[in-house]
Chain A
Amino acid sequence: MTKSQPTTSKKIINSFDEFFTLIPIKINKNISFHHHLRNGDYVLNMVLDFYLKEKVQDINLFPSAIFPKYTKILDLLRNNQINNITTNYLNGPVADYITNNGLKGTLKMQTHGGRARSILEGKNNIDIAYIAAPYTDNQGNAIGYKGLNKCGSLGYAIADSEQAKIVVLVTDHITNEIVKDPEIKAENVDYIIKVDSIGDNLGIVSGTTNITTNPIGVKIAKNTSTLLNELGLIKNGFSFQSGAGGASLRVTKDVKDIMLTNNIKASFFSGGITKYHVEMLEEGLVEKLYDVQCFDIEAIDSMAKNSHHHPISASIYANPANPNRVIKDLDIVILGATEIDYDFNVNVTTDSHQNLIGGSGGHSDTASEAKVTVIVSPLIKGRIPVIKKRVTTITTLGENVDCFVTERGIAINPKRTDLIKKLEHTSLKIISIEELAKLAYSYTGIPKETKTTTNQIGVIEDRTYNIIDKLYQK
């Protein structure tokens, strides 16, 4: 629905057709997208539909993540139009397809910090960055926390906007005023394409969760917050990050209760931000929120009104080459796992049936830098013990993982003799990871190894650029 709009800018283009007459579609094969509109994104499919129809070959896709709704990628894969995909997370039909069929080139899984680094250092060579922008002025100064289809932080798009050869904002809201403190800066923007709608509100905040009330999750969270407290980590000025899953949020809630009892104020929370984190900011329990991704509408609105709620780029969040990265000061991170092994290597990329179901996102980054990394998980998921001799896929190296908390016991990485010493007189059940595995097997029996093909379809690239594992076709 277009009303009168400012057309005083040379950057503004009226349609994609016009854009592709200026920038021929078949020339620039390395294209990128961000995933801040999550499962409510229209832009990626909208753009890729052109590539599909024009039968562009050998596309190298750099989406920061792939959600179930991004079905045009599936169509392109089926048509063998895609060469490589480089991403930090994938789930849904595209992931299933690649699991079972592979792709022409390679699936390279990076981390949020590693992706930013790769782009800024020229290793991820992006020709066109298509950036869905909820709110922009007519020069291309853009933010994500205003507009009909607001999504909050645009953190994963910033490196792309600084380094891509051609930067295209795709927006449904151009304002007459100049946007102050933009996340995407006009000086980096080449084109602005206005469309009717960049996304669907409900889908943007889809997949978010509430604090779990599942009794097992409640117990795990209780064990975790008790552990953190006994390790003396919940103290004035501490910093903290947790995932947005139900169990992680429960940990956040339990930590909050301890903070209230002991009058503790945290220095910052980082990562994906939810209404629970916002509540704690507004209640004075934490100084700042460093937000690389908003998970609900409360987080988005908070960013618009709370001056201590800062949107940050993926580079400022977690780029190991960025000396100002936020997570270098991170004290505690709470993360999940599909699998963990005797060396404390963690998998969040594939499940125990070898399907691609995720990816590092910020998992590996935060585990590398946080002073204490805690993995939380039920001991057994659907009869499958979460602990294995060796994980199906290494997302995060064991040397960066300190504690594994389940409902039936806690394992501490033997390297952390300092933590083990602090827990000498604990009433928590601390046992070795092998014993914890044995405990699981006493319930489930020993599972047979699932078979894999030797057909390699991808790699797991660490933020250090090391390939730490490979992906195989199912």
Chain B
Amino acid sequence: MKASAGTYESSDCNITVQYNDTTLINVESIVFEQFGDQIKEVIIQTLTTHNLINVKVDCFDKGALDYTIKSRLETALKRGGYIE
């Protein structure tokens, strides 16, 4: 199921998850040059921790720190029924 969490406020990010044949991660960020890879890494790690591979993750970031990205992703996954 498609689900989202998080806002477009400064220091937050909005994450949408939905089913996909393969893992697909899209990141848009106001600090893409400086932290784009880091954001992707956090998303990958979180998916791995929960053993998820068939998910498309869209992240719209306004400078969120790692714990926030992890949190918004986990919340979206929970809402979408991907994790408990």
Q: Which residue numbers of A lie inside 8 Å of B, CB to CB?
A: 352-353, 382-384, 443-445, 447-448, 450-451
**Are the CB atoms of B31 and A447 closer together than 8 Å?**
yes
Which of B14-22, B34-42, B48-56, B76-84 forms part of the interface with chain A? B34-42
**Are the CB atoms of A448 and B37 closer together than 8 Å?**
yes
Q: Name the contact of A448 in the complex, choosing from B11, B34, B66 (C-beta under 8 A).
A: B34
| B2: interface (CB < 8 Å) | no
Question: Across the two chains, which residue of chain A brings its CB closest to B33?
Answer: A450
Cα A443 to Cα B11 in complex, Å, equals 12
**Are the CB atoms of B33 and A383 closer together than 8 Å?**
no
Please report whether the interface of chain A is mostly helix, strand, loop or mixed according to DSSP. Answer: loop
Residues of A within 8 A of B33 (CB): 353, 448, 450-451
Tell me how many residue pairs across A and B have CB atoms closer than 8 Å.
38
Nearest-neighbour CB distance to chain A for B67, whole angstroms, equals 9
Q: Name the contact of B10 in the complex, choosing from A352, A353, A382, A450 (C-beta under 8 A).
A: A382
**Are the CB atoms of A382 and B66 closer together than 8 Å?**
no
B side interface size, CB within 8 A: 15
Residues of B within 8 A of A451 (CB): 33
Cα A443 to Cα B36 in complex, Å, equals 16
Residues of B within 8 A of A447 (CB): 31, 34-35
Q: Name the contact of A443 in the complex, choosing from B10, B62, B65 (C-beta under 8 A).
A: B65
Residues of A within 8 A of B25 (CB): none
Nearest-neighbour CB distance to chain B for A338, whole angstroms, equals 14
**Are the CB atoms of A450 and B65 closer together than 8 Å?**
no
Q: Name the contact of A445 in the complex, choosing from B10, B35, B62 (C-beta under 8 A).
A: B35
Closest 8 interchain pairs by CB?
A447-B34, A383-B63, A382-B63, A450-B33, A383-B31, A445-B38, A448-B34, A443-B65
Cα A447 to Cα B11 in complex, Å, equals 15
Cα A249 to Cα B38 in complex, Å, equals 36
Residues of A within 8 A of B38 (CB): 445, 448
Residues of B within 8 A of A445 (CB): 35, 38, 65-66
